[in-house]
Amino acid sequence: MKYKHIFGPVPSRRLGISLGIDPIPFKTCTYNCVYCECGATTNLTTDRKEYIPGKDIIAELKDYLDRNPKLDYLTFSGSGEPTLNIGIGKIINFLKENYPQYKIAILTNGSLLYQKEVRDEIIKADLIMPSLDAVSGTIFKQINRAHRGLEIQTIISGLIEFRKIFKGKVWLEVFIAPGINDTEEELKLLRDTIIRIDPDHVQINSLDRPGTESWVKPINNISLKKVISYFKGLPVEIIANFESREKIASFDYNIEERIIATIRRRPCTAEDLSETLGIHINETNKYLQSLLERKKVESQNLERGIFFKIKIRES
């Protein structure tokens, strides 16, 4: 069976060996974050629909999971906001009833958790990883560029409400974009709000491969320490560089070699690679990140997007 909606398993720095489930068409999201590694959102929406029929996703999952693969997580993620798919609850129920040995994680921007039906649909997951990058309305607009129907205070209330009823783990991710949300004022607001949400972990993230907007820069270690000092006392964890990716069993050197062979012929965007090699965009991005970290490839921002090419070694 050729899989269209599941991908991997991908080696994930936070989740170990994770099988990705992408229930949303490419870049269909409630946000258009300046740092999104998948590029600009092409369908900015809050409409919940069965974008991809649940039965198609379930058929792929059944085909794959019946082979009893060794996995740490089944992870709803992808190139958009997974809770926009109205069938997500049905898929989670199917997995819990038929494959209870696997844990379920959901990577979400958390923007729809203010809706009771969304909270109810994902309640049986084991781990939710929502993001929260700003508390003040102005900074929220600058960094997340959300659909106009969304207000940050409503989103925060949804996160607090969900935490109260959810029995699993909540790992809140805060992306720091230097010059936007790392001011003293915003960091204090974030700290107070995180205390109200009460997550199990707070993961501080920053740019580690090119984002949608080329002016978003990675945070340096000194600034990162400053950020952490504002979050003192919170269960903070920095998402470390993923040096050990190759040590993870699911890291596939064939894929890496195919990526290198392709961009050796001509520079490509992540989307080009994904299409040419028939690998999901998220999986492609993971390998590109590893290659960037090991300085085997470099990126260049051009009109059509971010291109990757072989890094010429300086002599």
Site for ligand SF4, rule CB under 6 A: 29, 31-33, 36, 38, 41, 80-81, 109
**DSSP summary character for residue 85:** B
CB of 58 to ligand SF4, least distance (A): 23
Nearer to ligand SF4, 64 or 175 (CB): 175
- C-alpha angle 194-196-202 in degrees, rounded to nearest 5: 25
| Exposed e or buried b per residue across 249-287, where buried means at least 16 C-beta atoms within 10 angstroms of its C-beta | ebbbeebbebbeebbeeebbbbbbbbeebebbbbbbbbb
Could you tell me the smallest distance in angstroms from the CB atom of residue 145 to ligand SF4?
Answer: 8
If the CB atoms of residues 58 and 150 are measured against ligand SF4, the closer one turns out to be: 150
CB of 174 to ligand SF4, least distance (A): 13
Q: How large is the angle between the packed helices 88-98 and 54-65, nearest 10 degrees?
A: 20
Residue 185: is it exposed, middle or buried by C-beta count within 10 angstroms (0-12/13-18/19+)?
Answer: exposed
Q: Which is nearer to ligand SF4, 145 or 245 (CB)?
A: 145
Cα 248 from Cα 271, distance rounded (Å): 24
The nearer residue to ligand SF4, 9 or 78, going by C-beta atoms, is 78
By beta-carbon proximity to ligand SF4, the closer residue of 38 and 279 is 38
Both tokens of 137, joined, read: 């309305």
User: Please, what is the minimum distance in Å from the beta carbon of residue 29 to ligand SF4?
Assistant: 3
The CB-of-69 to ligand SF4 minimum distance in angstroms stands at: 26
CA distances (Å), origin 214, targets 34, 48, 239: 9, 31, 21
Between CA 165 and CA 173, with CA 170 as vertex, the angle to 5 degrees is: 135
Nearer to ligand SF4, 65 or 113 (CB): 113
